[in-house]
Protein backbone atom coordinates (compact mmCIF):
# COMPACT_ATOMS: atom_id res chain seq x y z
CA UNK A 1 0.00 0.00 0.00
CA UNK A 2 2.75 2.47 0.92
CA UNK A 3 4.43 2.06 -2.45
CA UNK A 4 1.13 2.62 -4.25
CA UNK A 5 0.52 6.02 -2.67
CA UNK A 6 4.05 7.32 -2.16
CA UNK A 7 4.23 8.87 -5.63
CA UNK A 8 0.93 10.64 -5.18
CA UNK A 9 1.92 11.86 -1.73
CA UNK A 10 5.22 13.17 -3.12
CA UNK A 11 3.39 15.10 -5.83
CA UNK A 12 0.94 16.62 -3.36
CA UNK A 13 3.76 17.60 -1.00
CA UNK A 14 5.65 19.27 -3.84
CA UNK A 15 2.52 21.20 -4.80
CA UNK A 16 2.02 22.27 -1.21
CA UNK A 17 5.61 23.48 -0.88
CA UNK A 18 5.29 25.35 -4.19
CA UNK A 19 2.10 27.01 -2.99
CA UNK A 20 3.88 28.56 0.00
CA UNK A 21 7.04 29.39 -1.93
CA UNK A 22 4.92 31.38 -4.39
CA UNK A 23 3.53 33.29 -1.39
CA UNK A 24 7.08 34.23 -0.40
CA UNK A 25 8.22 31.38 1.82
CA UNK A 26 11.55 29.63 1.47
CA UNK A 27 11.35 25.96 0.52
CA UNK A 28 13.54 24.71 3.41
CA UNK A 29 11.45 26.70 5.92
CA UNK A 30 8.19 25.41 4.46
CA UNK A 31 9.45 21.81 4.53
CA UNK A 32 10.64 22.20 8.12
CA UNK A 33 7.25 23.55 9.15
CA UNK A 34 5.51 20.70 7.35
CA UNK A 35 7.76 18.19 9.11
CA UNK A 36 6.90 19.64 12.53
CA UNK A 37 3.18 19.47 11.75
CA UNK A 38 3.49 15.90 10.46
CA UNK A 39 5.35 14.87 13.60
CA UNK A 40 2.58 16.37 15.75
CA UNK A 41 -0.10 14.68 13.64
CA UNK A 42 1.68 11.34 13.94
CA UNK A 43 1.90 11.67 17.73
CA UNK A 44 -1.76 12.64 17.99
CA UNK A 45 -2.74 9.70 15.78
CA UNK A 46 -0.70 7.29 17.89
CA UNK A 47 -2.49 8.53 21.01
CA UNK A 48 -5.98 8.50 19.46
CA UNK A 49 -6.33 7.04 15.96
CA UNK A 50 -9.98 8.06 15.60
CA UNK A 51 -10.95 11.05 17.74
CA UNK A 52 -14.37 11.16 16.06
CA UNK A 53 -15.29 8.03 18.03
CA UNK A 54 -14.62 9.74 21.37
CA UNK A 55 -17.70 10.21 23.51
CA UNK A 56 -15.97 13.17 25.16
CA UNK A 57 -16.33 15.19 21.97
CA UNK A 58 -19.39 17.35 22.36
CA UNK A 59 -21.75 17.51 19.46
CA UNK A 60 -23.47 20.64 18.30
CA UNK A 61 -26.64 21.14 20.36
CA UNK A 62 -29.87 20.82 18.44
CA UNK A 63 -32.09 23.81 17.99
CA UNK A 64 -35.43 22.42 19.21
CA UNK A 65 -36.82 25.75 20.35
CA UNK A 66 -40.38 26.43 19.22
CA UNK A 67 -40.44 29.07 16.53
CA UNK A 68 -36.74 28.77 15.83
Domain ranges of the chain: 21-46
pLDDT attached to residue 2? 66
Residues of the chain with pLDDT under 50: none
* Closest by CA position to 31, among listed 53, 47, 16: 16
Residue 52 CA, chain-centre distance (Å), reads 14
The model's pTM: 0.64
pLDDT attached to residue 58? 61
Q: How far apart are CA 59 and CA 2, in angstroms?
A: 34
Q: What are the percentages of helix, strand and coil residues in the chain, rounded to 5?
A: 65, 0, 35
Amino acid sequence: MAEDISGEIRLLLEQLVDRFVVKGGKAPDVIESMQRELDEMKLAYEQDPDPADDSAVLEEPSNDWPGA
